[in-house]
């Protein structure tokens, strides 16, 4: 019987930790299972990598308990985790944790208690009259017994600050705990109840007897809140019976999106050609990658659906990944309509508990089609045959926190390990993927036309400099755009208006001295949000009131400059007073299901116009939209980032592609100050191929990806001189770089200060991926030997943004 286990823990140390197994656990713990273990003052949950009998040289502690009865990760997923950990230079424990959507089942918390010093102090305090401030309240509460942070904060506003200061004084000690969430605490409406099948013996209170009687008369499972209407006190009785294991309480499965089932479209010849090749690929049982490059409205979804059918027909399962914002219940509904309850959806709009539940269902083999966002790539399906990555160019596939993986690339690695097929699809493939296809690494499947002979939208480019010369006015909308919108509204057709910047005014500046109002934590200007009447930092969330006078020179000439989506909405209301207008951006979509509400209402024509940021550009298929207005094509162009042109081209092409998807043809009005910029021009002509060639030339010349492997090393510190010194030392340690590798920097990051930390970066381009990886490992080793703070070094492999 193995007496030890090696556990990977979610801590920023790239090593496994060995624990001894108490007798009760020895026969139950296997690789891939989660165990709870002591770690310093904390209790942590980690994944068992191996069980063995090799006694470690140092004394080890006992593992505390097994978290799940069965392993949560199989060998295939652990191997994938190891690959991610190596490739993205991220500790395995953190990788494995982010592969599991089960964190919600365990509640992390802090428990505070008085130290001896604190106890002395508290006695002194209680001699004086009990004062009524936060400090005294907190001390009085803790004098009674140790308390969870949450319950202190609930009772005492501002307790946060008090706790911090008490900790500094050494009066209180904190213990980090993890507790499993009790399903019995969920509200009745979210629970299903059924008899457990166990024999009931002995006497029970009346309510419990009644409930048992009701359940035996009405077999099957019921929503607990519905039972409450029939049986007095059912809720309390149910929970008590559940503890006695006489009934089972389980969380209610999420509501299914309702969509009328629709007969599959007959594939047109281009779709058929693409599908036939994919079907053959799946049939071969070998790893292969396809890139579907199909213009907006060419019917890519129909190919995905057929490909999934083909995988299922082979007895294999399928994963479909979609961008964060595109996974709407409406889209999920399409899949339910087609595949019924074989589908599991891993949707960010679901609660953590709902996601955990879906995950367990997939793990148990209860779903063979999984639709999910980025982390859906880790869905524990069995016998994987196909992974589809829709809108493969989308930035939301890249996780911008540790581990900084790209879901699309992980999909390819996972498929390779599983001998499965990958289908990447986009109207605007990333340069990398399209380049791989042109090199023959991927099979290219092109759909150059929209379905049913529908035309591509006609794009009108409006030079806003000329507009100004002609009108002498700085208007948000050109005369041509206003006229076009007016025409569509008269025809009862719908309009989408894009401005990819939220807020009302993008910044506030003083006319006398030129000072701009900046965030206190970040080196960026604050954005004015009129509805909230405050200035907001889009990076850290810091907010302040609008100053009435300039903080620098005292002048009253404080002005709002630049325009955001909130103001666009406002001006549209002025220009079209009777139009029904909705806005979709991160400010209007605060609740999780609001996004779909707005979109659904727009789809049902309860709105005439939809205004928003890039959120409105992604994937939506709304047939009655015949006009797309782009207020400014220039928003992303000035970014200090080699991908700025690519991103602009993609966004403009995608939003233009929202027009004319139904029976009626579409038009686009694109306003710009840079009509000669190639990204703007070629997006207007919807000429992907010309853009690809031109951008590829630039990348080749500059040795940017796909002509090099790239990584960004960021060094952060609250003190500027520390950040500068550390990054310089690191640079010295890493140079001279191997041949065919270039280290640029250290330089201030494009956002030099973020969330109160100063940031310097080293940007690395390397001809060899292996050497790049070795260099990054050396950087990590350096940080470790120098005992840098765990968060000081950030390594981003294949970075998408360099902010
Ligand atoms: P894409 O994802 O390529 O932009 P979609 O898959 O959303 O395009 O398809 C666009 C529209 O065309 C959808 O409304 C879809 O139902 C319809 N469609 C797809 N394939 C066909 C077909 N073979 N015949 C007719 N309509 C189709
Ligand atoms: Zn001023
Ligand atoms: Zn900020």
In this predicted structure, the answer to whether residue 179 has a pLDDT above a threshold of 80 is: no
Q: Does 621 contact ligand 1 (Cβ within 6 A)?
A: yes
The predicted model scores a pTM of 0.82
Atom of ligand 1 nearest to the CA of 657: 4
Band of residue 12 on the pLDDT scale cut at 50, 70, 90: confident
Q: Does 451 contact ligand 1 (Cβ within 6 A)?
A: yes
Ligand nearest to the CA of 558: 2
Per-residue model confidence (pLDDT) at position 596: 78
CA 376 – ligand 1 centroid, Å: 24
Per-residue model confidence (pLDDT) at position 108: 56
Nearest CA to ligand 1 atom 15: 299
Q: Does 301 contact ligand 1 (Cβ within 6 A)?
A: yes
In this predicted structure, the answer to whether residue 747 has a pLDDT above a threshold of 60 is: yes
> How far, in Å, CA of 344 to CA of 354, rounded?
11
Atom of ligand 1 nearest to the CA of 266: 23
Q: Assess whether the previous peptide bond of 746 is cis (omega < 30° from 0).
A: yes
In this predicted structure, the answer to whether residue 52 has a pLDDT above a threshold of 90 is: yes
* Least confidently predicted of 54-63, 157-166, 470-479, 640-649: 157-166
| Whether the Cβ atoms of residue 10 and residue 94 lie closer than 8 Å to each other | yes
Per-residue model confidence (pLDDT) at position 11: 85
DSSP H/E element including 76: helix 75-87
Q: Does 296 contact ligand 1 (Cβ within 6 A)?
A: yes
How do beta strands 42-52 and 106-114 pair?
unpaired
CA 615 – ligand 3 centroid, Å: 22
Band of residue 713 on the pLDDT scale cut at 50, 70, 90: very high
> How far, in Å, CA of 372 to CA of 378, rounded?
10
**Among candidate residues 557, 554, 497, 506, the one with its CA nearest the CA of residue 530:** 506
Q: Is residue 184 classed as helix, strand or coil in its secondary structure?
A: helix
Per-residue model confidence (pLDDT) at position 762: 95
Q: Is residue 396 classed as helix, strand or coil in its secondary structure?
A: helix
Q: Does 422 contact ligand 1 (Cβ within 6 A)?
A: no
> How far, in Å, CA of 149 to CA of 111, rounded?
6
Q: Does 267 contact ligand 1 (Cβ within 6 A)?
A: yes
Sign of CA dihedral 791, 793, 798, 801: positive
How do beta strands 507-510 and 343-346 pair?
unpaired
Per-residue pLDDT tens for 554-591? 888 888 888 889 999 999 999 999 999 999 888 887 65
Averaged pLDDT of the chain? 88
CA 767 – ligand 2 centroid, Å: 49
Residue with tokens 């770089």: 737
Ligand nearest to the CA of 295: 1
Residue 584 neighbours by CB distance under 10 Å:
24
Sign of CA dihedral 190, 195, 197, 200: positive
Residue 527 neighbours by CB distance under 10 Å:
24
In this predicted structure, the answer to whether residue 667 has a pLDDT above a threshold of 80 is: yes
In this predicted structure, the answer to whether residue 593 has a pLDDT above a threshold of 80 is: no
DSSP H/E element including 645: helix 644-656
Residue with tokens 């939208």: 457
Band of residue 348 on the pLDDT scale cut at 50, 70, 90: low
Query: Which is more confident, 78 or 174?
Result: 78
Residue with tokens 């001295």: 513
Per-residue model confidence (pLDDT) at position 240: 87
Q: Does 714 contact ligand 1 (Cβ within 6 A)?
A: no
Q: Which of 264, 271, 299, 688 to mutate to test the pocket of ligand 1 (most atoms within 8 A of CB)?
A: 299
Nearest CA to ligand 1 atom 17: 299
3-state helix, strand, coil in the chain (%, to 5): 40, 25, 40
Per-residue pLDDT tens for 420-463? 999 999 999 999 999 999 999 999 999 999 998 898 999 999 99
In this predicted structure, the answer to whether residue 65 has a pLDDT above a threshold of 80 is: yes
Q: Does 452 contact ligand 1 (Cβ within 6 A)?
A: yes
Nearest CA to ligand 1 atom 19: 299
Q: Does 302 contact ligand 1 (Cβ within 6 A)?
A: yes
Per-residue pLDDT tens for 93-120? 999 988 987 664 455 567 788 888 888 8
Per-residue pLDDT tens for 243-299? 888 888 877 655 545 556 667 889 999 999 999 999 999 999 999 999 999 998 999
CA 269 – ligand 1 centroid, Å: 13
What is the DSSP-derived secondary structure letter of residue 279?
H
> How far, in Å, CA of 595 to CA of 601, rounded?
10
Q: Does 660 contact ligand 1 (Cβ within 6 A)?
A: no
Query: Which is more confident, 567 or 156?
Result: 567
Per-residue model confidence (pLDDT) at position 590: 66
Per-residue pLDDT tens for 608-620? 999 999 888 876 7
Q: What is the mean pLDDT of residues 644-655?
A: 93
Per-residue pLDDT tens for 668-702? 999 999 999 999 999 999 999 999 999 999 999 99
Residue with tokens 């936060």: 134
In this predicted structure, the answer to whether residue 736 has a pLDDT above a threshold of 80 is: yes
Q: Is residue 644 classed as helix, strand or coil in its secondary structure?
A: helix
């Amino acid at each position: 019987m193995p007496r030890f286990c090696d556990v990977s823990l979610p801590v920023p140390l790239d090593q496994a930790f060995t624990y001894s197994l108490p007798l009760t656990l020895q026969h139950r713990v296997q690789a891939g299972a989660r165990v709870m273990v002591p770690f310093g003052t904390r209790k942590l949950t980690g994944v068992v990598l191996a069980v063995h009998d090799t006694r470690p040289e140092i004394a080890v502690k006992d593992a505390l308990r097994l978290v799940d009865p069965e392993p949560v990760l199989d060998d295939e997923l652990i191997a994938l985790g190891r690959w991610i950990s190596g490739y993205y230079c991220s500790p395995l424990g953190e990788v494995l944790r982010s592969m599991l959507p089960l964190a919600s089942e365990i509640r992390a918390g802090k428990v505070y208690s008085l130290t001896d010093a604190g106890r002395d102090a508290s006695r002194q305090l209680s001699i004086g009259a009990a004062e009524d401030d936060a400090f005294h309240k907190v001390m009085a509460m803790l004098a009674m017994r140790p308390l969870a942070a949450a319950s202190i904060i609930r009772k005492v506003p501002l307790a946060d600050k008090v706790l911090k200061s008490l900790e500094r004084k050494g009066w209180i000690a904190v213990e980090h705990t993890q507790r499993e969430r009790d399903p019995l605490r969920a509200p009745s409406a979210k629970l299903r109840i059924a008899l457990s099948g166990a024999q009931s013996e002995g006497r029970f209170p009346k309510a419990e007897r009644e409930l048992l009687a009701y359940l035996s008369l009405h077999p099957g499972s019921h929503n607990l809140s519905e039972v409450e209407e029939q049986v007095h006190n059912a809720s309390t009785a149910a929970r008590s019976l559940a503890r006695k294991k006489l009934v089972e309480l389980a969380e209610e499965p999420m509501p299914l999106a309702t969509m009328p089932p629709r007969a599959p479209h007959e594939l047109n010849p281009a779709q058929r050609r693409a599908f036939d090749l994919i079907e053959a690929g799946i049939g071969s049982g070998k790893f292969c990658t396809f890139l579907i490059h199909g213009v907006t409205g060419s019917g890519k979804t129909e190919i995905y659906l057929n490909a999934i059918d083909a995988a299922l027909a082979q007895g294999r399962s399928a994963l479909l990944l979609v961008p964060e914002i595109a996974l709407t219940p409406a889209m999920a509904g399409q899949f339910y309509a087609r595949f019924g309850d074989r589908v599991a959806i891993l949707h960010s709009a679901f609660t953590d508990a709902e996601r955990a539940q879906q995950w367990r269902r997939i793990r148990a083999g209860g779903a063979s089609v999984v639709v999910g966002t980025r982390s859906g790539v880790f869905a524990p399906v069995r016998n994987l045959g196909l992974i589809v990555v829709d809108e493969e160019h989308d930035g939301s596939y890249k996780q911008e926190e540790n581990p900084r993986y790209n879901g699309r690339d992980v999909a390819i690695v996972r498929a390779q390990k599983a001998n499965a097929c990958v289908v990447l699809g986009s109207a605007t493939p990333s340069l990398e993927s399209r380049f791989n296809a042109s090199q023959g690494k991927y099979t290219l499947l092109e759909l150059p036309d929209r379905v049913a002979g529908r035309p591509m939208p006609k794009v009108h480019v409006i030079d806003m400099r000329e507009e100004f010369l002609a009108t002498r006015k700085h208007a948000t909308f050109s005369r041509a755009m206003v006229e076009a919108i007016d025409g569509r509204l008269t025809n009862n057709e719908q309009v989408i208006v894009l401005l990819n910047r939220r807020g009302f005014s993008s910044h506030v500046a003083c006319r006398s001295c030129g000072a701009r109002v900046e965030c206190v934590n970040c080196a960026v200007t604050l954005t004015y949000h009129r509805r909230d009447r405050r200035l907001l930092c889009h990076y850290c969330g810091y907010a302040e009131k609008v100053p009435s006078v300039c903080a620098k020179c005292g002048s009253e000439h404080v002005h709002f400059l630049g325009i955001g989506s909130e103001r666009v909405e406002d001006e549209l209301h002025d220009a079209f007073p009777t139009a029904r207008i909705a806005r979709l951006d991160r400010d209007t979509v605060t609740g999780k299901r609001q996004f779909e509400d707005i979109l659904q209402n727009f789809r049902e024509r309860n709105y005439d116009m939809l205004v928003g940021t890039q959120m409105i550009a992604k994937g939506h298929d709304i047939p009655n939209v015949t006009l797309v207005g782009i207020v400014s094509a220039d928003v992303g162009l000035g970014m200090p980032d080699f991908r700025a042109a690519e991103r602009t081209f993609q966004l403009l092409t995608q939003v233009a592609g929202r027009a004319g998807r139904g029976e009626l043809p579409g038009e686009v009005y694109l306003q710009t100050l840079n009509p000669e910029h190639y990204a703007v021009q070629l997006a207007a002509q919807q000429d992907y191929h010309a853009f690809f060639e031109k951008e590829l030339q630039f990348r080749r010349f500059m040795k940017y990806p796909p002509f090099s492997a790239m990584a960004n090393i960021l060094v952060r510190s609250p003190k500027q001189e520390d950040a500068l010194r550390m990054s310089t030392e690191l640079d010295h340690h890493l140079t001279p770089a191997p041949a065919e590798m270039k280290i640029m920097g250290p330089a201030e990051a494009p956002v030099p200060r973020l969330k109160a930390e100063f940031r310097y970066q080293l940007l690395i381009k390397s001809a060899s991926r292996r050497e790049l990886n070795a260099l990054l490992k050396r950087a990590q080793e350096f940080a470790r030997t120098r005992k840098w703070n765990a968060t000081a070094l950030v390594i981003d492999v294949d970075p998408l943004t360099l902010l």
